[in-house]
Amino acid sequence: MAATDKKANTQPVPRHIAIIMDGNGRWAKKRGLPRTAGHAAGAEAFRRTANYCRTLGVEYLTVYAFSTENWKRSADEVAGIMKLLGKYLEEALLDMEKNHVRFKFFGDLTRLSPELQKLCQDAQERSAQYHEVQVNFCLNYGGRDEIVKASAAFAADVAAGKYKPEDLTEEVLSGYLYSADVPDPELIIRPSGEMRTSNFLLWQSAYSEYVFLNVLWPDFGPKDLDEAIAEYHRRNRRFGGV
């Protein structure tokens, strides 16, 4: 698809874009459909967006697929989300030679079914050779939980004699995060009209530019991504300077 904003297409795109995929339930409710239908439509929006990011030359796309708080939803809705994720990963494994997408998973996968854990592991291992675009799925993920787990891992290494407590720096702790070796996102997009971070990439987003859009995630498309990138380029990123 062609970009709809020349400025977004001619200036360098952010190297790393992250998206809070929000609004599936409201999209379904507006249409008198079950919430699972919204998640199915949201999965198609993800496909569109991931493909478009690849054509733009985005190196990293991180998406908030399922949070540590999402387990509070109904069992039927959670099961529907997990089924969709499994279906997507099965298709991705079949299409890897064509799409060349590298997969990474941020979050505690141990709570997932053994079958879904294996799909995640297979997708991550079999796609490691690809370098066009890396998609990071935040699955059973929470920003606070990530920092707690990273801190605990560092403390364990201190107890094992690998570090001293005074060795802890931002760089050292970053190496214990799920996103170790992944650059922080320059741009974080949240569709659906909500204006909060919802425990997403709390450490990594310290200097990210947030763009909030009034489109529900299932309706999100290339023009919305272009709009967000154009807004990103209008920002003056000072990183604490003048």
Active site residues: 22, 70
Residues constituting the chain = 242
Residues 6 or more apart from 190 whose CB is under 8 A from it? 19, 20, 22, 196, 210, 211, 212, 213
SS3 labels along the chain: CCCCCHHHHHCCCCCEEEEECCCHHHHHHHCCCCHHHHHHHHHHHHHHHHHHHHHHCCCEEEEEEEECCHHHCCHHHHHHHHHHHHHHHHHHHHHHHHHCEEEEEECCHHHCCHHHHHHHHHHHHHCCCCCCEEEEEEEEECHHHHHHHHHHHHHHHHHCCCCCHHHCCHHHHHCCCCCCCCCCCCEEEECCCCCCCCCCCCCCCCCCEEEECCCCHHHCCHHHHHHHHHHHHHCCCCCCCC
What angle, rounded to 10 degrees, do the helices at 222-234 and 35-56 form? Answer: 60
Whole-angstrom distance, CA of residue 73 vs CA of residue 242: 45
